[in-house]
C-alpha cells in the first residue's frame, strides 16, 4: 500500500506490520489546516486497505501532538460559508472513520493535544501521554460549541461532573490529571513515549487478527450508538455558533493577539 497521495502534512511510516501516522506541521505545532484536515479524514480508509498492516501509532512531529485548528484557516470560515460547511462535513468524517477503523490505534501524545487534536487522540484505542503533555478543548473560549468531540465524547470516558469544568473553561488538563479523569490510558516519560507505543503496537499486531478486530468492533459499537445523537446535535450547534457575532469577535481578537 502506498500513501504518497496524502499531503505532506500527514505522513505514514511502515515498520513491519505497524504503521506510524505522523501529524507533520511541527513549525506550526501541528495545527490543523485544510490539507491536514482532509488527510485526517481520508487516511483511515487507506490504512484499512493495507493488507500488511496490523496496528497503527498516531503521533505528532516535533514538540506538539496537535495544537488544534490552524488560526488562519479557521478565520477564513468567517467569510467563506462553503469552506466552513466543508470543514464540518470533514470533521464528522474523521470521527466516523476512526470509530469504524478495524485496526488497533495507539495515540502517542508527545505534547499539547488541543481541540480537534484532543478529539483525534481520544478516538484512539489506547492513549499514551508524555508526562509533559496536556489535553485541552478551548472551543467555548472562542465562542464555539465543542461539537467535534469534546461535548459529545468526553462524557463517555469520564464522569460528566468531572469534565464540565474543563469543557466550559478550556483549561489545560495535565497528563497525570488526564489519566485520573479517564481521558488517557497512562503517562510515560517523554523519552519512553514512542518506544512504549511501538512495544504496545507490536503486541497488538501479534494478536490473532480476527479476534482483535471483532473485539474492537463490538467495543466501538457502544461508542457509535451513544454518540449518534450527541454528535449530530453537536455539529449543528457548532455550525450555528460559527456564524455568531461573538465567535467572530473572539476569533479576530485571538488572531490579532497572535500577530502582535
pLDDT per residue over 135-145, tens digit each?
999 999 999 99
User: Could you tell me the CATH number of the domain that includes residue 170?
Assistant: 3.90.226.10
Pairing of strands 126-130, 186-188: parallel
Beta bridge partners of 60: 23
Q: What percent of the chain has pLDDT over 70?
A: 100
Quick: pLDDT tens for 75-111: 999 999 999 999 999 999 999 999 999 999 999 999 9
| CA atoms of 222 and 229, how far apart (whole Å) | 13
87 within some domain: yes
Q: What percent of the chain has pLDDT over 90?
A: 85
CB 55 within 8 A of CB 208: no
241: pLDDT strictly greater than 90? yes
pLDDT, average across residues 65-79: 95
pLDDT score, position 150: 85
Looking at every residue in the chain, the average pLDDT score rounds to: 95
Quick: pLDDT tens for 167-193: 999 999 999 999 999 999 999 999 999
Read off φ and ψ for residue 227, nearest 5 degrees.
-90, -15
Number of structural domains (the chain) is 1
109 within some domain: yes
- Is residue 159 packed enough to be buried (19+ CB in 10 Å), middle (13-18) or exposed (0-12)? exposed
| pLDDT band, residue 2 (cuts 50/70/90) | confident
Tell me how long the chain is.
260
221 within some domain: no
pLDDT, average across residues 209-236: 92
Quick: pLDDT tens for 14-61: 999 999 999 999 999 999 999 999 999 999 999 999 999 999 999 999
pLDDT score, position 82: 95
pLDDT score, position 255: 87
pLDDT score, position 260: 62
pLDDT, average across residues 234-248: 93
| CA atoms of 110 and 60, how far apart (whole Å) | 7
Residue 138 belongs to domain spanning = 10-193
| pLDDT band, residue 74 (cuts 50/70/90) | very high
Q: Rounded to 5 degrees, what angle do the CA atoms 52, 201, 105 make? A: 85
201 within some domain: no
Residues 6+ apart with CB under 8 A from 252: 75, 78
pLDDT score, position 228: 83
Beta bridge partners of 21: 12, 58
147: pLDDT strictly greater than 90? no
Quick: pLDDT tens for 196-213: 999 999 999 999 999 999
147 within some domain: yes
151 within some domain: yes
Beta bridge partners of 55: 18
76 within some domain: yes
pLDDT, average across residues 233-247: 93
More confident residue, 156 or 37: 37
Sheet of 186-188, strands arranged across = 10-15, 18-23, 55-60, 105-109, 126-130, 186-188
259: pLDDT strictly greater than 90? no
Amino acid at each position: 500500500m502506498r500513501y504518497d497521495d496524502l499531503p505532506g502534512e500527514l505522513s505514514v511510516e511502515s515498520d513491519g506490520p505497524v504503521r506510524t501516522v505522523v501529524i507533520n506541521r511541527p513549525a506550526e505545532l501541528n495545527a490543523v489546516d485544510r490539507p491536514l484536515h482532509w488527510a485526517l479524514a481520508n487516511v483511515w480508509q487507506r490504512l484499512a486497505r493495507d493488507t500488511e498492516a496490523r496496528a497503527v501509532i498516531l503521533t505528532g512531529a516535533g514538540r506538539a501532538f496537535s495544537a488544534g485548528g490552524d488560526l488562519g484557516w479557521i478565520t477564513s470560515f468567517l467569510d467563506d460559508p462553503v469552506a466552513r460547511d466543508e470543514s464540518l462535513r470533514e470533521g464528522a468524517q474523521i470521527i466516523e472513520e476512526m470509530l469504524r477503523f478495524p485496526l488497533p490505534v495507539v495515540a502517542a501524545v508527545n505534547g499539547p493535544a488541543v481541540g480537534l487534536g484532543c478529539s483525534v487522540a481520544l478516538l484512539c484505542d489506547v492513549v499514551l501521554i508524555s508526562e509533559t503533555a496536556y489535553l485541552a478543548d478551548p472551543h467555548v473560549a472562542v465562542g464555539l460549541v465543542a461539537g467535534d468531540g469534546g461535548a459529545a465524547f468526553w462524557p463517555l470516558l469520564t464522569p460528566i461532573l468531572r469534565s464540565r469544568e474543563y469543557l466550559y473553561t478550556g483549561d489545560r488538563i495535565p497528563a497525570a490529571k488526564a489519566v485520573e479523569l479517564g481521558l488517557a490510558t497512562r503517562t510515560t516519560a517523554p523519552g519512553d513515549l514512542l518506544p512504549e507505543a511501538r512495544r504496545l503496537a507490536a503486541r497488538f499486531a501479534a494478536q490473532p487478527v480476527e479476534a482483535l478486530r471483532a473485539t474492537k468492533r463490538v467495543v466501538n459499537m457502544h461508542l457509535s450508538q451513544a454518540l449518534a445523537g450527541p454528535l449530530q446535535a453537536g455539529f449543528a450547534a457548532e455550525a450555528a455558533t460559527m456564524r455568531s457575532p461573538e465567535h467572530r469577535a473572539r476569533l479576530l481578537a485571538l488572531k490579532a493577539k497572535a500577530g502582535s
